[in-house]
Amino acid sequence: MFLTHLECSACGRQHDWSRLQNLCAECQKPLFAIVDLAAGSRTLKRETLATREKSLWRYREVLPLPDGVEPISFGEGGTPLLRAKKFATDVDLWIKDESLNPTQSFKARGMSVAVSMAKYLGATKLAVPSAGNAGGALAAYAARAGLEAHIFMPRDTPRANIIECRELGAHVTLIDGLITDCGAEIARRKEKEGWFDMSTLKEPYRVEGKKILGYELAEQCDWQHRKSSRARDLRSELPDVILYPTGGGTGLIGMWKAFDEMEVLGWIGKKRPRMFAVQATGCAPIVRAFDAGEKTAVEFPDAHTIASGLRVPKAIGDFLILKILRQSNGGAISIDDEEMIRVGREVGSSEGLFVALEAAACFAALKSLRSTGKIHSGERVVIFNTGSGIKYLDCYESQ
């Protein structure tokens, strides 16, 4: 293992990785795992990646789990990058299909790494607030690890998610309120109950699992790049634009961290994709803050959307998300619920993918950003389908 320490993403204070940690002891902001990339690069070689297992753990050298410790894994990661030829013909559109992960969403990535580290560091009871897919992922990985899972969900969370958590053996508590209310309940009870808080960005390792999205994207784009006669050097060529459905924003933050790491490794150059955060009109704190030029986002009042993964009225990593959007010359855009349903059906009939509503918002955002000239003809665009539409059957039936 090449993990050296944890570092605050805001104030830079260093923390010991070898014990359970949540937020920075100094400023209560998210902690990042810092890896010795020079040492890891001695065995992590781009040219030999294809010979390794097809999962996120093929990048073991940049992940935090100590050598010899078996990860808690169902084979997550290694999801396909699919060409979308019909939905948009004027851009080079690709879909990173995360619905093929265990528990049918990208949340499996973060939970695999986070639960592996939590167990290694001695946690026995894990708790998380969830609007759906994170709860299902924690329930599955905790069961596999032999740990207790305590999941707090808004009462109106899609039934598929609630049933999934219960059938995987988790203790499920339904709350009258939003995911922020669920998180507040965990915070009130965790010390007395002996829970370790696995909330988004409130522990350092879910983002490490999510960052492998960036490594995989570079690897898969590199394969496409080498097929082209335009290949100019040995470095991967990332897409021009990434559209990412943004609630807590862990995946977006993780990918940006991965891009910085890969530049140090010499795998990519300085060029970065323009990152666009896609939210719901009924819950768009990042969009409001971005448009207003703010560095942080205030809590969004009366948050509501059928895309439960986007119903996050206040993200602890808001300052990181906004910084990334501006550094990349990207932006933030919101989509209403009716448009998500309509475009989701369009994606299904044109591309054969039953995408999550959060991803449907990204496809709708592509149309809008093309019409306003923020995405140009011929650019390579990647949309992340973060989960399966199967989890949203009740939403489609009601429309």
Name the residue ranges covered by the structural domains of the chain: 81-105+204-397
Evaluate if residue 38 carries a pLDDT over 80: yes
Would you place residue 398 in the very low, low, confident or very high pLDDT band (cuts 50, 70, 90)?
low
190 vs 234, higher pLDDT: 190
How does pLDDT run across 184-228, given as a tens digit for each residue? Answer: 999 999 999 999 999 999 999 999 999 999 999 999 987 554 544
Would you place residue 395 in the very low, low, confident or very high pLDDT band (cuts 50, 70, 90)?
confident
Question: Residue 246: which region, alpha, beta or left (left: phi > 0; alpha: psi -120 to 50)?
Answer: beta
pLDDT of residue 396: 78
| CA geometry: angle 272, 107, 71, nearest 5 deg | 100
For residue 249, give the amino acid letter.
G
Would you place residue 337 in the very low, low, confident or very high pLDDT band (cuts 50, 70, 90)?
very high
For the segment 251-257, the average pLDDT, to the nearest whole number, is 98
Fold of the 81-105+204-397 domain: Rossmann fold (3.40.50)
d(CA 285, CA 334) in angstroms, rounded, equals 10
pLDDT of residue 306: 95
Q: What mean pLDDT value characterizes the chain?
A: 95
Closest Cα to residue 276, out of 326, 331, 217, 340? 331
232 vs 344, higher pLDDT: 344
For the segment 371-382, the average pLDDT, to the nearest whole number, is 97
pLDDT of residue 47: 87
d(CA 15, CA 30) in angstroms, rounded, equals 11
How does pLDDT run across 114-125, given as a tens digit for each residue? Answer: 999 999 999 999
* Helix 133-145 × helix 107-120 angle, to 10°: 40
Would you place residue 229 in the very low, low, confident or very high pLDDT band (cuts 50, 70, 90)?
very low
Contacts of 184 (CB under 8 A, 6+ apart): none
d(CA 195, CA 332) in angstroms, rounded, equals 35
Evaluate if residue 69 carries a pLDDT over 80: yes
d(CA 392, CA 357) in angstroms, rounded, equals 7
pLDDT of residue 394: 84
Contacts of 361 (CB under 8 A, 6+ apart): 245, 278, 279, 280, 307, 310, 335, 339, 340, 343
For residue 87, give the amino acid letter.
F
Question: Residue 302: which region, alpha, beta or left (left: phi > 0; alpha: psi -120 to 50)?
Answer: left
Q: What is the pTM of this model?
A: 0.95
**3-class state of residue 313 by DSSP:** coil
Helix residue ranges, H only, 7-94:
37-40
User: Residue 7 is inside which H or E element, if any?
Assistant: strand 3-8
**71-106 in b/e burial notation, b at 16+ Cβ within 10 A?**
bbbeebbbbebbebeebbeebbbbbbbbbebbbbbb
Kindly report the three-state secondary structure assignment for every residue of 170-211.
CEEEEECCCHHHHHHHHHHHHHHHCCEECCCCCCCCHHHHHH
Sheet holding 331-335, edge to edge: 81-83, 92-97, 380-385, 241-245, 274-280, 331-335
Do 250 and 210 form a contact (C-beta atoms < 8 A)? yes
DSSP symbol at 245: E
> How far from 58 is each of 34, 46, 63, 70, 390, CA to CA, in Å?
18, 11, 10, 13, 29
**3-class state of residue 253 by DSSP:** helix
For the segment 278-305, the average pLDDT, to the nearest whole number, is 98
Lookup result for tokens 């990646």 = 49
Both structure tokens of 173: 């508590």
